[in-house]
Amino acid sequence: MLLYSILFPIISLIAIAWFLFRHLKGKNSLTTVILWTVLWIFVIIFSIFPNTSFVFARLFGITRGLDFLIIVVFIVLFYTVFKLYFRVDELQEQLNTIVKELALQNEITSDDEDE
Amino acid sequence: MGFEISAEDKDLTYIILPAYNEATRIRPVIEEIARKGYKMIIVNDGSSDNTLDVIKASQKKYPKNIFIYSHIINRGVGMAMQTGFDAVLRYNPKYVVNMDSDGQHSVDDLENVLEPLVTGRAQAVIGVRPLKDMPLSRNFANAIMNLLTRIFYRVNVSDSQTGFRAITAEALKKIEINARGYLISSEFIREVHDNKIPFEEVPIKTIYTPETQAKGTNVTEAFKILIQMIKHQF
């Protein structure tokens, strides 16, 4: 047995446990947990039985199993970056509102200095 | 003899100055504006130098002319302007002018940008910088931005990135600014155009120094603005 076929399933199980733990603490929705769990289960399957990637590759008309895996990883990473970008953008917007409101509520006058 | 604004109109005019790390340049600008008898809203955009202390010192000299608002952290010129626009409406102004606080704009041009508003010819004005005075890199970035403003916002102006603009309070209430950074210049023009606000371009003087050249719309900023313009299409 190769090292990755032991290491990847362990990492996957830790990741699934982490997502479940976050769900129980109310930090992740059930949909997020299910999507990530499915992804990590595929990682476990492909690590232990690498040849199964061929089956999926052929389904999508890709010749090599490894190419299929690389494409899937790219899609997942792209989605994650995209989601993070929008989350950061949303947080920036909230931060801007706070900074603006704070400034508007605290006009600085020369009397402030004298007090 | 140029246009001279009446004391009454001057009293109803407020100048918004966004300021970020302008400690070495802002004092002559704001004190000259105050000496001319205009009132101003200065928005300190989370400066890391002592800009706020410099403004406060000037406010002690001219307490009736200087009103200060301060962002606790830096959020960009667009946000500083949004704060300025929201703040200025509390003072019931008639005319609102926006200019840079780094000394790039001449205080003597205030009357020139106000003239079309006061005479009723326009409700919004942008101060257009002479192209010949502009450094080459800035000139190039500006040409790109004018083109992008034309493509994305369908407005054709000679200087889409100017920081010197004036608007009546009535028109200001109609426009909506959401830009955080330098996109504000193009967004202001788009809002004025989309709201069918009578609009005029006025030539202004620009004083370029190595310090003022370091700020503003360069090629990197132009690229950032392009990304935001594309985003705004959706």
In chain B, the percentage of residues whose pLDDT exceeds 70 is: 94
Same domain, residue pair A1 and A46: yes
Q: Which fold does the domain B7-232 belong to in CATH?
A: Spore Coat Polysaccharide Biosynthesis Protein SpsA; Chain A (3.90.550)
Q: For residue A65, name the pLDDT band (cuts at 50, 70, 90).
A: confident
Interface test with A, best of B14, B42, B73, B234 (most A CBs within 10 A): B73
> What is the number of domains present in chain A?
2
Same domain, residue pair A37 and A74: no
Per residue in B202-226, is it b (16+ CB within 10 Å) or e — as a string?
bebebeeeeebeebbbbeebbeebb
Residue A5 belongs to a domain: yes
Q: What is the chain B residue with the closest CA to A110?
A: B60
Kindly list the distances between the CA atom of residue B185 and the CA atoms of A95, B12, B69, B142, B176, in Å, as whole numbers in the listed order.
22, 24, 21, 11, 13
**For position B1, what pLDDT does the model report?**
53
CB-closest option in A103, A107, A110 to B71: A103
- CA dist., res. A97 & res. A84, Å (int): 20
Residue A55 belongs to a domain: no
Same domain, residue pair A1 and A45: yes
Residue A110 belongs to a domain: no
The region that residue B46 occupies, defined by phi over 0 for left and psi between -120 and 50 for alpha, beta otherwise, is left
Residue A22 belongs to a domain: yes
**For position B210, what pLDDT does the model report?**
65
Question: Considering only A48-52, A104-108, A110-114, B190-194, which range has the smallest mean pLDDT?
Answer: A110-114
For residue B87, list chain A residues with Cβ-Cβ distance below 8 A.
103-104, 107
pLDDT digits (tens, 9 = 90+) for B33-61: 999 999 999 999 999 999 999 999 999 99
Mean pLDDT of B81-95: 97
Residue A111 belongs to a domain: no
For residue B52, list chain A residues with Cβ-Cβ distance below 8 A.
108
User: CB under 8 Å to A93, separation ≥6 — which residues?
Assistant: none
In chain A, the percentage of residues whose pLDDT exceeds 90 is: 55
* Per-domain boundaries in chain B: 7-232
Residue A112 belongs to a domain: no
Q: What is the chain B residue with the closest CA to A93?
A: B180
Same domain, residue pair A36 and A75: no
Same domain, residue pair A2 and A30: yes
**For position B213, what pLDDT does the model report?**
61
- B89 contacts chain A (CB < 8 A): no
Residue A38 belongs to a domain: yes
Please state, rounded to an integer, the average pLDDT across all residues of chain B.
Answer: 90
User: CB under 8 Å to A11, separation ≥6 — which residues?
Assistant: A43
**For position B143, what pLDDT does the model report?**
84
pLDDT digits (tens, 9 = 90+) for A78-89: 999 999 999 999
Strand B95-98 relative to strand B165-168: parallel, antiparallel, unpaired? antiparallel
Which residue range is the domain that position A8 belongs to? 1-50
pLDDT digits (tens, 9 = 90+) for B154-172: 888 888 888 999 999 999 9
pLDDT digits (tens, 9 = 90+) for B8-32: 999 999 999 999 999 999 999 999 9
Residue A95 belongs to a domain: yes
